[in-house]
Amino acid sequence: MTTRYDRRGFMGFCGKSALAAGMAGAAGTLPTAAMADLLEDAPTVKLLDKDGAPLKASELAPNTTLIFNYPYVATPVMLIVLDAPTEADTQTKDGEGHTYLWQGGVGPGRNIVAYSAICAHLLSYVGHETAFLHYNTEENEFGHAKVITCCAHGSSYDPANGAKVVAGPAEYPLATVNLAYDEAEDSISATGVIGTELFKKFYDSFRQDLRSEYGRAKYRKIVTEGAVALPIDEYSEYVLEC
Ligand code: FES
């Protein structure tokens, strides 16, 4: 069930958790190299529906948002079905100023895109309890439509353009999750992550929460089999709107 929160009502909580996230990330306790090495081997993982069958790209309605976890079992990704094809090979800049090519949408309509659902500002994310980010087709309270909005502090990202920052305090795009489309099977697979991924900071910041949610032995594992993609309002108990 989706519940609308009064944004002002949760800002205190969110501001504190985001600040804590930034501080914990800066302190850093996990070895960066280990995480980076794992990412280089990010697996190709097929996206599945809730019954475990391959997700059919042609059956996904425009303006749908699904959430799956990738490349780690605890790191959320937004799969968004846009209402129009995207341009391919858009030049994008990561958090260190390096350029990379965003490949554009996949699927029969070239309109299916995926991004890490961890905000590039202070790591607010789409969790099972609360989704701080969502895709809004209508204008958000910051004056932008068809953007991914993080309700923590209003960062807005353009999903049709590599998740470039449109508004708000974030300084660089959400990390892209590369997708591949199998035309014969009409299926979609996640094939890797490009851009500024924040997984190390995310794990540093939310270790206790993630351990209790996914289990101490499992919470940092790489996804190796299919990833179930759920509608955002089934994945999260509360989807914040702003
Ligand atoms: S955490 Fe600040 S805008 Fe997302």
pLDDT in tens, 133-185: 999 999 999 999 999 999 999 999 999 999 999 999 999 999 999 999 999 99
Residue 137 CA to residue 165 CA, distance in Å, equals 16
pLDDT in tens, 184-200: 999 999 999 998 889 99
Q: Choose the residue to mutate in 16, 153, 196, 240 for probing ligand 1, maximizing ligand atoms within 8 Å of C-beta.
A: 153
- Per the DSSP assignment, residues forming a β-bridge with 188 are 181
**Could you tell me if 78 and 126 are in contact, meaning their C-beta atoms sit under 8 angstroms apart?**
yes
- Check which CATH number belongs to the domain holding 59 and give it: 2.102.10.10
Is the pLDDT at 8 greater than 70? The verdict is: no
Q: Which domain holds residue 151?
A: 7-239
Domain presence at residue 1? no
Is the pLDDT at 220 greater than 80? The verdict is: yes
**Could you tell me if 70 and 45 are in contact, meaning their C-beta atoms sit under 8 angstroms apart?**
yes
Work out how many domains the chain is built from and give that number. Answer: 1
Domain presence at residue 24? yes
Nearest to residue 188, comparing CAs of 41, 57, 1, 73? 57
Q: Please report the pLDDT score of residue 39 as a whole number.
A: 60
Q: Please report the pLDDT score of residue 7 as a whole number.
A: 34
Q: Please report the pLDDT score of residue 72 as a whole number.
A: 94
Going from the Cα of 188 to the center of ligand 1, the distance in angstroms, rounded, reads 29
Domain presence at residue 81? yes
Q: Choose the residue to mutate in 118, 124, 148 for probing ligand 1, maximizing ligand atoms within 8 Å of C-beta.
A: 124
pTM for the full predicted model: 0.85
Q: Please report the pLDDT score of residue 40 as a whole number.
A: 56
Domain presence at residue 216? yes
Residue 156 CA to residue 150 CA, distance in Å, equals 6
Q: Please report the pLDDT score of residue 106 as a whole number.
A: 97
Is the pLDDT at 15 greater than 80? The verdict is: no
Return the higher-pLDDT residue of 7 and 164.
Answer: 164
Domain presence at residue 191? yes
**Could you tell me if 5 and 238 are in contact, meaning their C-beta atoms sit under 8 angstroms apart?**
yes
Find the residues whose C-beta lies inside 6 A of ligand 1: 18, 119, 121-122, 124, 150, 152-155, 168-170
Tell me the C-alpha to C-alpha distance, in Å, between residue 56 and each of 49, 155, 209.
8, 31, 33
Domain presence at residue 133? yes
Residue 36 CA to residue 203 CA, distance in Å, equals 13
Domain presence at residue 138? yes
Mean pLDDT for 93-98 is: 88
Going from the Cα of 112 to the center of ligand 1, the distance in angstroms, rounded, reads 24
Domain presence at residue 17? yes
Shortest-distance Cα residue to atom 1 of ligand 1 = 122
